[in-house]
Structure 1
Amino acid sequence: MTLTLATQIALIAAGVIFLWALILGVWKFAQIMRSPDGAAHIYVDIAHRAALMYSFATAMLGVFVQFSAWSTAVNLVALVVVVFFFVTAIASYCLHGTLRDTENQLHPTSPMMTASMVALIVGEIGGTAVILLGFIVEQVGTWN
């Protein structure tokens, strides 16, 4: 079976994010071992868990774009938007885990943070909805 370009990109991205998650797990373990209370910084923990979840979410998107009614271009744009926000979220968690500068990146909030969160919400939900709808349309078309 030949995979579509969108599927190839999704699965490669899923693999890279999963590898990143495994590396973050080592970082988390190292912090746990050095910590007097046996815990990693909250954002190291969040980065590790988010990367694990986002890797599998990206793999799911790969399945949806493989069997989509939409064009490669539509699937690619939607996929890149979603994965971009997945990666930037993980990166921001890593940044806060490295800097140890906060335990809540959303508080206190700012107009820039609010705009970033709105963009993330629209991008992740909108891109996923486009991809899922393409999958559903294609599958419904096969029902007799």
Structure 2
Amino acid sequence: MSFAEKLCLSAAVVFFITGLLTGIWKYRCMASSPKAAAPRYVDIAHRSSLMYSFAAMLLGWLARHSAFPDWLNTTAAASALAFFALAIGTYIIHGVLRDTSNQLRKPYRLGASSLPPLIIHGFMVFLIIAEVGGAGVLGAGALIGIWQ
């Protein structure tokens, strides 16, 4: 098994367990809420963790079948996985702080503080490049690999 595959499988386990644990958190919030609803970012943290766990497995499958060298597959996988993890972490932070129902609505809140737009939009640009680029490299490598 390549390092890229090991990285993807490890991330999938961490994301899946995070999804299960945030599911307990979500349930507790729902059970104690008069509206039987969890805060938005508690719900988002739960669902995104589960979805990213399966996305990590897909990236691992793509890495397994990729015709590209392991260093490139590992770089691509690590880039995408790092931003999956950062996104989940951000959702958990907003869920704990209950500081916003939309992290992209101005002013950009983090607890009692406001974040400069450059940080938010810069993060989003890097996230797009890392996630789409990483998945694109692995996907192209897998397509080349399976059609050779």
Give the TM-score range, shorter chain: over 0.9
Mapped pair 1:117 → 2:124: yes
Instruction: Give the CA deviation at 1:6.
Output: 1.1
2:138 paired with 1:135: no
The C-alpha deviation readout for 1:48-90, integer Å capped at 9, x for no partner, is 0000100000001101101110111000000000000000000
Alignment of 1:1-144 (within 5 A): 3-108=1-106, 110-141=117-148
2 CA distance for matches of 1:16 and 1:107? 29
In 2: Cα distance, 1:80 partner to 1:6 partner: 8
Q: How many residues align?
A: 139
Question: What amino acid sits opposite 1:66 in the alignment?
Answer: R
The CA distance in 2 between the partners of 1:6 and 1:85, in whole Å, is: 16
Q: CA deviation at 1:94?
A: 0.3
1:111 CA displacement: 1.9
TM-score, normalised to structure 1, is: 0.94
Structure 1: gaps (5+ residues): none
Letter in 1 for 2:126: A
What SS does the aligned partner of 2:62 have? helix
Give me the whole-angstrom Cα distance separating, in 2, the residues matched to 1:99 and 1:72: 40
Overall identity of the aligned pairs, in %: 40
Matched to 1:105, the amino acid is Q
Give the match for residue 114 of structure 2.
none
Unaligned runs of 5+ in 2: 109-116
1:21 counterpart letter in structure 2: G
Counterpart of 1:130, as a letter, is: V
Question: When the two structures are superposed, what TM-score results if normalisation uses the length of structure 2?
Answer: 0.92
Could you tell me how far apart the structure 1 residues matched to 2:80 and 2:104 are? 20
Aligned residue type for 1:7 = E
- Equivalent position amino acid for 2:78 in 1: V
Q: Residues 92-113 of structure 1: CA distance to partner in whole angstroms, max 9, x if unpaired?
A: 0000000000001001151211
Aligned structure 1 segments of 4 or more residues deviating by more than 6 angstroms: none
Partners of 2:17 and 2:60 lie apart in 1 by: 17
For 1:94 and 1:76, the matched residues in 2 are separated by 26
